[in-house]
Amino acid sequence: MTHNPPANRFSIAPMLDWTDRHCRYFHRQLTQQALLYTEMVTTGAIIHGKGDYLAWNEEEQPVALQLGGSDPAALAQCAKLAEARGYSEINLNVGCPSDRVQNGRFGACLMGEAALVADCIKAMRDVVAIPVTVKTRIGIDEQDSYAFLCDFISTVAHQGGCDTFIIHARKAWLSGLSPKENREVPPLDYPRVYQLKRDFPQLTLAINGGVKTLSEARNHLQYLDGVMMGREAYQNPAILMQVDRELFGSDRPEIDPVAVVRAMYPYIERELSQGTYLGHVTRHMLGLFQGIPGARQWRRHLSENAHKPGAGIDVVEQALSLVADKIPMTA
């Protein structure tokens, strides 16, 4: 009897200002299997914000909500709301190093408060049936020993009941580096994450950080349960067209990027009718034809025209005409 690999075998990272609902809808056209994540949403925004911070489309499933916060009661309240709205996982951010996040006492600084993280996870697990997971770093500031990492994982797993961790294989510097530098300056340490799996074989562990190709993802999957891809999946989304076949063993037929763009039209029409600007959707699609002649013209046409008042499907169709005839047809 064959069983389908779990969705967290390959996921697309939560990225602030990037992985919004339009982005996720687009990515879902490219991969049916990968687990998608929301941008990080703070508990304060959900509980006190004016907008609907839990909005998503049924077609995005499976999709996980990433929460930022450190108050167990507020997190539990938000987790309950998210489960009621149909999200398939709640993820606690213990990895983001920005000052704004630290001032709110969440993100990477929580690595130094393992017992509090455990309380947060337990509070959420007590009120929802869906998985509650943690995304973290391998250390913070001078607290970057392997023992520190093991202690954090052990505490959150045993006291909080967390059985799934996504590990960004870099430490975070809480001061002195910008969030962008924190994604690039601290060195990646994949072996440390592999070692963690050997020492905690009962836990589900996924790796994040610097993954740029599906062959790299396959390599990580020899040692770990899952791989999370971030910027590469966003900037070169065509890579996602191979995920279902290569990482999930799906027999889904080859995907045509032009057909993917046109499959977005009903969604775009619906969004335009609700007052969304075309550019809010198409900005996530700019990288689709990377490496294909005409890709630059596609990007330029959308970038220059999608934000104009009244811009609609015809703008996308015109952009498509600059690239469509240059795509080598697959036999």
* Annotated binding-site residue? 168: yes
Structure tokens at 58: 């049924």
Distance of CA 195 to the CA centre of its chain: 24
* Annotated binding-site residue? 299: no
C-beta separation of 81 from 124 below 8 A: no
C-beta separation of 110 from 67 below 8 A: no
* Annotated binding-site residue? 15: yes
From the candidates 23, 78, 96, 109, which is the catalytic residue?
96
Handedness of CA 250, 253, 254, 258 (dihedral sign): negative
* Annotated binding-site residue? 209: yes
* Annotated binding-site residue? 14: yes
* Annotated binding-site residue? 228: no
CA angle 140, 144, 150 (to 5 degrees): 105
C-beta separation of 25 from 267 below 8 A: yes
* Annotated binding-site residue? 16: yes
- Is position 96 annotated as part of the catalytic site? yes
C-beta separation of 212 from 236 below 8 A: no
* Annotated binding-site residue? 179: no
- What is the C-alpha separation between 286 and 296, in angstroms, rounded? 9
Residue 238's SS3 state is helix
Annotated binding site, which residues?
A: 14-16, 66, 135, 168, 208-210, 230-231
Annotated binding site for FMN, which residues?
A: 14-16, 66, 135, 168, 208-210, 230-231
Q: Which residues are catalytic?
A: 96
